[in-house]
Amino acid sequence: MTRKQKRFTVIFGALAMLGIAVALVLTALSEQVTFFRTPADVAAAPADSAGRIRLGGLVEMGSVKNAEDSGVEFAIEDATDRIVVRYAGILPDLFREGQGVVAEGKMQADGTFLADTVLAKHDENYMPKEVADRLKEQGYWQGEEASATQ
């Protein structure tokens, strides 16, 4: 192999690797990305919420119930809408009625939401960032600025 050929092999290898990576990344980003929605978004454009989504809002007061087969049921609400969420797992430690929550999963045909993950909060002050931003936009929740500095 000449010097030129050797260099060509390395450059070709690098380009091939890059090409494969770009293809993988683009496919994954078009298929594996989870969008954040609030109940109002889902009501407004159900088609946009057909895949896997993160549903965020406040846990409706008095909505948490033990469902059959060791699961739980609760409703996520925002300024205008509410959606019932079913979840078969242990709720995070800081899950509370009237507080922010993010559930990850899929909308079902009957209009309920089947969650496989309910995101835990790490701190009693912590409001999931997406939820806080959206609810503030809607004017539904003001939040305490002081609590955000924790």
Partner 1 sequence: MIVEFGHYALVLAFALAVLQTIVPFVGARAGDLRQMAMAPNLAFAVFAALALSFAVLTWGYVTSDFSLLNVVENSHSQKPLLFKITGVWGNHEGSMLLWVLILALFGALVALFGSNLPPSLRAMVISVQGLITVAFTGFILFTSNPFERLSPAPFEGNDLNPILQDVGLAIHPPLLYLGYVGFSVCFSFAIAALIEGRIDAAWARWVRPWTLAAWVFLTAGIAMGSYWAYYELGWGGWWFWDPVENASFMPWLAGTALLHSALVMEKREALKVWTILLAILTFSLSLLGTFLVRSGVLTSVHAFASDPTRGVVILGILIFFIGGALFLFALRSSTLSNGGMFHPISREGGLVLNNLILTTATATVFVGTLYPLAVEALTGEKISVGAPYFDATFVPLMIPLLIAVPFGPLLAWKRGDIFAALQRLYVFAGIALIAGLATLWLADGLPLLAAFGVAVGFWLLFGSFADVWQKSGLPKAGFSKAMARLGGLPRSVWGTALAHAGLGVTVLGIVSVSAFQEEHVLRMAPGDTTELSGYSVAFDGASARQGPNYTEDVATFTVTRAGAHVATISPAKRLYTARGMPTTEAGIHTTGFSQIYVALGDPVEGTNQIVVRLWWKPQVTLIWLGPVLMMFGGLFSLSDRRLRIGAPKPSAKRREALAAAE
Question: Does the protein bind partner 1 through residue 136 (CB under 8 A)?
Answer: no
Question: Does the protein bind partner 1 through residue 35 (CB under 8 A)?
Answer: yes
Cα distance between residue 147 and residue 150, in whole Å: 6
Q: The dihedral of CA 90, 82, 137, 115: what is its sign?
A: positive
Q: How far is the CB of 90 from partner 1 (least distance, A)?
A: 4
Chain Cα centroid distance, residue 49: 11
Nearer to partner 1, 66 or 109 (CB): 66
Cα distance between residue 31 and residue 145, in whole Å: 36
Burial of 64 (0-12, 13-18, 19+ CB in 10 A): middle
Q: How far is the CB of 22 from partner 1 (least distance, A)?
A: 9
Question: Does the protein bind partner 1 through residue 108 (CB under 8 A)?
Answer: no
Cα distance between residue 107 and residue 113, in whole Å: 4
Judged by CB under 8 A, the residue of 36, 43, 63, 99 near partner 1 is 36
Q: Which residues bind partner 1 (CB under 8 A)?
A: 1, 3, 6-7, 9-10, 13-14, 17-18, 20-21, 24-25, 27-29, 31-36, 54, 66, 70, 88-91, 93-94, 104, 120, 122-124, 126, 128-130, 133-134, 148-150
